[in-house]
Amino acid sequence: MKIQRRRFLSRAVRATGAVVSTSLGTTLAASTPADRKPDDAAQSHAHTEADADLSTWAAVRDQFLLSRDHVHLALLLLTSHPRPVRAAIDRHRRGFDENPVIYLHENIERMEREMRVAAAAYIGANPDEIALTGNTTTGLALVYGGLPLLAGQEIVTTTHDHYVTHESLRLRALHTGAIVRKVPLYAVPEKATEDEIVSNLVKAVGPRTRAMAVTWVHSSNGVKLPIRRMADALGELNARRAESDRVLLCVDGVHAFGVEQESVSDLGCDFLIAGCHKWLFGPRGTGIVWGRPSAWKGHAGIIPSFEWGSLKAWMRGEPPDGLPPGPRTSPGGFQSYEHRWALPEAFRFHQRMGKARVTARIHELATRCKEGLAALPRVTLHTPRAASLSAGLVCFEVDGLAPPEVVKRLAARKIIASDTPYATSYARFTPGLLNTPEEVDRAVAEIHGLTS
């Protein structure tokens, strides 16, 4: 009773000590230090989270509430949150629930900037080059919907790309008359080579091509494209083109983001789009778009931004064209801020594990999975064996069993897999940081059991 009475009195004092009035984005408050700085009480807790041991993969796994009753080999769809991300979500949710207006106005500019700074540190970019989105779908629509296209110019994509890329481009064509072409980059996924991919890319570029829309890791079959080589090949073509005719390399990177260690300068692409709630372990409903300054030039945002600079420009009767491209093109509207503002913790979590170490671990488990499946009778592995052409997705077929049936039978054995949502469908495992070698071996053994 004493504890409850103390809490009641504390809340009463805080409530009577605050007088709030707002006017178009301005908050004037007389409040206690606890209200004025809602994050202060969490600083020591955040410091404790940063000190958590991540030196072993078992220790990393202990940061998640993921059920140990199943083998989770489909986290490419939606991930579990690690402890620092959960704590940040809870902290921000508490701040909004206790005083939503004050918490919003006192934190929004700082937190939106912090998100860009954390993302930029992870990918090796300038924070102002990064737009914040809710997912890969929104990011792709943002990029392709606003590309500067002259009359008669076209966007080329591939036959291997996901529904969202194809649909974003179809809608662009529907609304603007833009030309869209689809080309194959390889004939057989498991036999694809870098030379084949780059050669087909170059052949696909025509005199009217303005953008190439590709996916870094294909969720349809696990093929990882050699983005650096592709960028270099396009660079040679662009050297002979005017700036307005330069072919932009736009990359859906969601199934490499949080897996591969390359920075955007390593990749050499013009745009990188990725959701953050998959391999990165970010909050559900978060994503980013990065673009190099020359690629952002002339790009038209398609959703009004809520950056305060945009609002101030509007009040002056001006468009927000003077803002940096990332803030200017970030879709506005009120967000699920408690999730959105926890994103920096996901980037820090990966940085603390070490990007090179993360890449090595995922490739180790994926290689183990591919070798195990390739050795089984009546199983066809469709993902390339080479690490240079694959990442964490492993796609395969079991003779006589449709992919949904494979997934169903594995689920009955408490192994969560997925099947690829494409016209040609395969069963799919995605070994990641939250798996052990023993779990991979168990999954392969269960597939062997299905073929016996």
Q: Over the stretch 264-275, which tens digit does the pLDDT of each residue have?
A: 999 999 999 999
376-396: average pLDDT: 97
Which residue did the predictor score with more confidence, 301 or 30? 301
CB 186 within 8 A of CB 226: no
pLDDT of residue 94: 98
Quick one: three-class SS letters along 47-66?
A: HHHHCCCCCCHHHHHCCECC
pLDDT at position 4 over 90? no
Question: Which pTM was predicted?
Answer: 0.89
| Residue 242 burial (C-beta neighbours within 10 Å; 0-12, 13-18, 19+) | exposed
pLDDT at position 308 over 50? yes
The pLDDT confidence band at residue 28, using thresholds 50, 70 and 90, is very low
The pLDDT confidence band at residue 131, using thresholds 50, 70 and 90, is very high
399-410: average pLDDT: 98
Determine what percent of the chain is predicted with pLDDT higher than 90. Answer: 83
CA atoms within 13 A on the CB side of 58: 1
Which residue did the predictor score with more confidence, 299 or 39? 299
The pLDDT confidence band at residue 50, using thresholds 50, 70 and 90, is low
pLDDT at position 29 over 80? no
Lowest mean pLDDT among 42-46, 111-115, 355-359, 392-396: 42-46
Which residue did the predictor score with more confidence, 36 or 309? 309
pLDDT of residue 49: 61
Domains of the chain: 114-352 (3.40.640.10), 355-451 (3.90.1150.10)
- How many CB atoms sit inside 10 A of residue 58's CB? 9
Residue range 66-118, pLDDT digits in tens: 999 999 999 999 999 999 999 999 999 999 999 999 999 999 999 999 999 99
pLDDT at position 340 over 50? yes
pLDDT at position 150 over 50? yes
CA atoms within 13 A on the CB side of 446: 20
Residue range 57-71, pLDDT digits in tens: 999 999 999 999 999
pLDDT at position 42 over 70? no
Mean residue pLDDT of the chain comes to 90
pLDDT at position 201 over 50? yes
126-136: average pLDDT: 97
Q: Which amino acid belongs to residue 219?
A: S
Which residue did the predictor score with more confidence, 19 or 108? 108
332-359: average pLDDT: 97
Contacts of 347 (CB under 8 A, 6+ apart): 118, 119, 121, 122, 280, 282
Residue range 210-260, pLDDT digits in tens: 999 999 999 999 999 999 999 999 999 999 999 999 999 999 999 999 999
pLDDT at position 5 over 60? no
Which residue did the predictor score with more confidence, 292 or 320? 292
CB 120 within 8 A of CB 129: yes
The pLDDT confidence band at residue 320, using thresholds 50, 70 and 90, is confident
Residue 182: in which H helix or E strand, if any? strand 179-183
CA angle 125, 128, 131 (to 5 degrees): 95
Phi, psi angle pair for 126, to nearest 5°: -90, 135
